Amino acid sequence: MTFTPAFTWAYLRLSYGGKSLAGQLADCTKLATGYGTSITEGNVFRDSDRSATSGVRRERFEALIETLNALPRKHGGLLLAYKQDRLERDSGDLERLMEACDRAGVKVLTGFGEVVVTLGARTPARINSALGRGESENTKVRVRDELAKNAQAGKAHGRESFGWDRHYEFDPRTGKKLRSWETVNTYEADLLNSAARRHLAGETLRSIAADWAAKKVRGRMGAAITRQQLKQLLLRERNVGWRIHHGQVANREAQWPAIMDESLWSQVCALINDRRQPERGRPREALLSGTVLCGVCGAVCRVFTKGATRTAASRKVYQCQAKMCTSRSVIMLDEWVLGQVEDWMCTAEADRVLALAHGHDGAASLAELNRLRAKKATYEDRLFREVIDEEGFGRAMAALRPQIAAAEAAVSAVSGRPSYVDVLEADDRVAAFLELNHERRRAFIRELFDIRVGIVIRRGPGVFCEESVAFATRKDLLAS
Ligand SMILES: [Zn+2]
């Protein structure tokens, strides 16, 4: 049985964890040779990164059917595929292909040990089709197991990380990726180490992030690094060479070099994680200083110490700093205000503040950005496993990059998300508030409330004249 090359086609498609396109073509060529024919490049149809179950239209598959349909009836020829599951994973596709081949008299050969599908032998083709669907399910399990195995081995996963450069080695003959490895990006690693030391010395993450932005330091996404991102960068177990899988340390000797000393890293993590600890190197300010206003003249109240015993906390008062119109015991006012705040948490007004904050906050934009980033990581992962080639990856990235940039812009447009939103979003708002460190409690109260102290009308030892204190939600937060 012989065919002229022009009558021989090959269809190649990548699948998750499957054989490369070059490998599939080599097998098809071998098969063609066995049938006394060969395949010309113009007759090869390749679909890269088209998982048959993902519902993405396989363009070259459609082109193949079109080509077959354009042939005269009973034209004759040979269609080769590496495995039948490369041809179709959907019985509808199979029917269309078989119909086109039938009409044009083209014989379909898959095979390499499998059932060979030929005209008039459709039953095995349909059985293979059903098996192919089962295999998609198995693939998910296989991929999951493989990820766990890579984690145990300390292999890197996902995109290149801030602090390292990733390198690849290709087989010069086949173009196949042989291995990848990471080296320290000393510029970024130095920046991170210095950020950790600066934060431990008392500098805020916000100020460090601002400094980085001024130095034009860019994250892997090409954008400036926010305070929140800086915090995440510092907290990464990756910094000390630990590979994490599902939130657990899978391997303490990962296959990438550590960029931070373990003791420095654990210190900075402790500082960031211990929310009750006030930021170091900064004098602890009274809870309400700068927040409480004088009910008489409207000036800001500051802490003063009354009398001779300057260390006694009981002598500290919030006092109108302009004209000394009013003053109130720090201990008593703090306690009373904290009680008011806790009561306020369960009011409709608190719900309203949250609802208004959500109105202009980017929960949806953030979800969208996270979705796109996950998609990008998936492509990177596929490239890493050679499920797609550099070209397919490049195409996918070209489509994704502008979407990610747009989503990032949308998120940063609402990065002015007020910090109190986190507390108000918590299931137990009071508990979330009490968990805040001193600095954040101060900020929470300052951002939300209007507190004014008037002239005391009721005096006496241990008496706190609450009638003369006005506690209210800031009006600007309630205006929509
Ligand atoms: Zn005053």
Residue range 232-263, pLDDT digits in tens: 899 888 898 887 766 666 677 778 888 998 88
134 and 86 fall within a common domain: yes
* Distance from Cα 308 to the centre of ligand 1, integer Å: 24
- Domain-located, residue 373: yes
Let me know whether 21 and 63 are in one domain: yes
Tell me, yes or no, whether 260 and 307 share the same domain. Answer: no
Q: 41 alpha carbon to ligand 1 midpoint, in Å? A: 87
Specify the CATH number for the domain of residue 88. Answer: 3.40.50.1390
Are 93 and 202 members of one domain?
A: no
Does residue 158 sit within a domain? no
Q: What tens-digit pLDDT sequence spans the chain (480 residues)? A: 444 545 788 888 776 666 778 888 887 787 777 777 788 888 888 877 555 455 556 778 888 888 888 888 877 788 887 665 555 555 567 777 778 887 887 877 765 434 344 444 444 444 445 445 455 555 555 666 676 777 777 777 667 789 988 888 888 787 777 778 888 888 899 999 999 988 888 788 888 999 999 888 888 777 888 888 899 899 888 898 887 766 666 677 778 888 998 888 888 887 887 654 444 444 567 899 888 999 999 888 988 887 655 555 557 889 998 888 898 989 899 999 999 999 999 888 998 888 887 765 556 776 777 788 888 888 888 887 778 888 888 888 888 888 888 877 776 555 445 668 878 887 788 888 888 878 778 888 988 999 999 988 888 777 888 889 999 999 888 876
Ligand 1: centre distance to CA 322 (Å): 6
Above pLDDT 90, what percent of the chain? 11
Residue 277: what pLDDT?
A: 46
Which tokens belong to 344?
């306020």
Domain boundary pick from 217, 244, 273: 273
Q: What is the distance between the alpha carbons of residues 80 and 34, in angstroms, rounded to a whole number?
A: 12
Q: Tokens representing 350?
A: 């608190």
pLDDT digits (tens, 9 = 90+) for 58-93: 778 888 888 888 888 877 788 887 665 555 555 567
Looking at the structure, do residues 230 and 245 belong to the same domain, yes or no? yes
Tell me whether residue 115 is in a domain: yes
On whether both 300 and 326 belong to a single domain, the answer is yes
Domain boundary pick from 123, 149, 175: 149
Flag whether 160 is in a domain: no
Interval between CA 24 and ligand 1 midpoint (Å): 84
How far does residue 473's CA lie from ligand 1's centre (Å)? Answer: 21
Q: Half-sphere exposure of residue 314, counting CA atoms within 13 Å on the CB side?
A: 3
Residues 401 and 470 occupy one common structural domain: no
- Cα of 38 vs centre of ligand 1, distance in Å, is 96
384: containing domain: 364-409
Closest CA to 147 of 13, 15, 17, 14: 17
Angle (CA) 219-159-417 rounded to 5° is 45
Number of folded domains that form the chain = 4
Ligand 1 centre to CA of 455 (Å) is 10
Task: Find residue 249's DSSP bridge partners.
Answer: 244
Q: Which of 273, 304, 322 is the last residue of a domain?
A: 273
> Do 14 and 140 share a structural domain?
yes
From ligand 1's centre to the CA of 478, what distance in Å?
Answer: 26
* 123 and 103 share one domain: yes
Q: How far is the CA of 332 from the centre of ligand 1 (A)?
A: 19
In a domain, 165, yes or no: no
Ligand 1 ion local residues (Cβ < 5 A): 294, 296-297, 299, 320, 323, 325
Whether 425 is covered by a domain: the verdict is yes
* Positive or negative: CA dihedral 280, 284, 288, 290: negative
Tokens of 272: 């960031």
Same-domain check for residues 467 and 334: yes
CA distance linking residue 403 with residue 398, whole number of Å: 9
Between the CA of 323 and the centroid of ligand 1 the distance, in Å, is 5
pLDDT of residue 124: 45
Alpha carbon of 298 to ligand 1 centroid (Å): 6
* Residue 68 covered by a domain: yes
Examine the domain organization and report whether 396 and 349 are in the same domain.
no
Torsion angle (degrees, nearest 10) of CA 197, 202, 207, 213: 0
Distance 324 CA to ligand 1 centre (A): 6
pLDDT of residue 193: 93
* Cα-to-centroid distance, 299 and ligand 1 (Å): 5
Q: What is the pTM of this model?
A: 0.36
Mark whether 199 and 226 lie in a shared domain: yes
Cα 411 to averaged position of ligand 1 atoms, centre (Å): 42
Q: Is 328 inside a domain boundary?
A: yes
Q: Using CA atoms, how far apart are residues 365 and 403, in angstroms rounded to an integer?
A: 12
